[in-house]
Amino acid sequence: MSTFAPEDGRTIRELRDLYDGGKVTPVDAVEAALRRIDRDGNDDEGGLRAFAHSRAELAREEAAEAARRLARGTPLSPLDGVPVAVKSMVAMAGLPQDAGSRVLEGRRAARDASLVGALKQAGAVIVGTTSMDEFALTTLGPARNPFDRSRTAGGSSGGSAAAVQAGMCFAAIGTDTGGSVRIPAACCAVVGLKPTYGLLPTDGIIPLAWSLDHAGPIGRTVADVAAMFDVLLSGVGTATGGEPSGASGLAGVRIGIPSDDYLSIAEPHLQEDFRAALTAATEAGAEVVLIELPDQEEVKGVHWPVLSAEMAAYHLRRFGASEDRYNAPMKEGIAAGATVTAKEYLTAQRGRLVLRAKVDEALTGVDVIALPTLAVDPPEMGRTEVELAGRPEDAVAAMVRLTSLANHTGHPAISVPPGTTPKGRPAGVQLIARHYDEQRLLSVAAGLEALG
C-alpha cells in the first residue's frame, strides 16, 4: 500500500506529477484523504470539526474510475483524480444539504449545483461536504484552527479552509458574502479566491444574501486555486488559461494601499506582517502607491441593512415555522432584517454604487489594491467579542471589517499567505483587482506567495 499522505503539504501540481510518474494513484490519494478525515475531521477527541458529511464509498468508486483513465492516458482535466471537498450549503445529489443548520436537518439535495457538476465533469473526486457556520452568517466556527485548536478556523467556510490546510483534501469550494472564503483562508494560512460577482454560478447554493453572495475556491497555493478556478469556470464556458507566474510577476506591478489611518484598525503585528510583505514586493520590482478607499463607516453602514433584509426575505418565506431551531445569531439577524424598510434597503443599495465607483477610481492608477485580510487574530472558540483598535467589538464585525468592501462592489479579491510570514501561523494579504481581471489578481498573488 502507498504511504502517500496529503497532509505532507503537497500541491495539486505535485500530485499530478506523482500520478504521471506512476508513483501514486487516485485510489491512494483518496484513501489517504479519507483516513485523515476519519482520524481528525470530526469532533471526536478534539478533532478539527472540518467535515459535515462523508462521501467515502462514492469517492472510492470515482477514484478507481480516475485511476483507469490515467492508466489509459486520457485524463479529463488537471483535477482528474484529485480529492476535493464542497461546503455543505452547496447541493450535491443524494447528500445532505443542511447549511450547518438544524432547520434543514434531513434535507438531501435532488441534483448537483453547477459548480459540483463542473468538478465531476473534470474528474475531481469529492470526498465530502465541509462544516460551516449556520447558513453562512457568522465567522466563528464550528471548525477548529489547525494551528491552534482553541481558536476558530474562521468562517463561514472554515471547514473548507481547515480541511485544505490539514490535508483532508487538496482544494475546496467555499462561499463568500462578507469575506467567508478569504477570512478562513487567512486564519488557516491557505489561499482563498472570491471572483467577480456573478462570474461563477450560485445555483444550487443556499443563499445568505443574494446580492452579496459569491462562490470561490480555496487551496494550498495560488496555482492550486487557479487550477480549481479554471475547472469551475469551465462550467460556464470560460477559463483563465495557464498557471500564474511567480515572483517575477511582480516586476512593474503597481500596488495601491490606503492611508495609515485606514490600516491602523488592524492589530499591530498584522500591520507589521502586511508591511513586511509590501517591502519585499517592492524589492521584487513592484511599486506601492497611496490610494483613497471608501471610509470604513460607509461600508459598515450599508452591509447590515442589505445582508439582514435579504436574509430575512429568504428565511421568513421558507422557514418561518422553524424559527425555534435557528441559532441565536440567525434569530437576531432575521428579526433585524424584517424591520428594514424599503427606503433603508434601497438607500443602502444606492450606497453600494458609490462604493463601487470609489473602488473603480482607486484602481485606475494601479494593478491591484492590497489590504490585510484580517484585522484581528482568529478568536478563541466560543468568543463573541474581541478588542479592535482598543475598543470592544463584535467578533464577526471585526473579522469582516477589511473584507466586506469587495462583496459590496463585486470586485474580485483573494487572500494569500505571503512568503514573508513565518509558516505555522495565520497569514493573509488581501488583493483586489478590476472586475473580471482574475488573471492579473492570481499573477500578483503568486508573486506575493513566492516572496521570502
Tell me the catalytic residues.
Answer: 87, 156, 180
CB of 190 within 8 A of CB of 220? yes
Strands 191-194 and 171-176: unpaired
Q: Is 243 helix (H, G, I), strand (E, B) or coil?
A: coil
Nearest one of 167, 191, 221 to 4, comparing CA atoms: 167
Place of cell 461546503: 87
- The cell numbers describing 308, all together, are 439582514
Q: Which residue has the cell 444539504?
A: 97
Asked if residue 49 lies in contact with residue 128, where contact means CB atoms within 8 angstroms, the answer is: no
CA geometry: angle 421, 155, 444, nearest 5 deg = 40
Instruction: Report the distance separating Cα 277 and Cα 447, nearest Å.
Output: 10
Residue 380, number of CB atoms within 10 A of its CB = 14
Alpha carbon distances (Å) from 160 to 70, 86, 218 = 27, 7, 7
Distance CA 127, CA 11 (A): 17
The residues near 138 (Cβ < 8 Å, ≥ 6 apart) are 155, 156, 329, 396
71 CB-near residues (< 8 Å, 6+ apart): none
| Contact criterion met (CB below 8 Å) for 394 and 382 | no
How far the first Cα of the chain sits from its last, in Å, is: 37
Contact between residue 3 and residue 23 where contact means Cβ atoms under 8 Å apart: no
* CA–CA separation, 452 and 445 (whole Å): 14
Of 31, 28, 52, 30, which is closest to residue 41 (Cα–Cα)? 52
Q: Report CA dihedral (42, 123, 3, 158) to the nearest 10 degrees.
A: -30
What stretches of 284-409 show up as alpha helix (H) in DSSP?
296-319, 328-338, 342-362, 395-399, 404-409
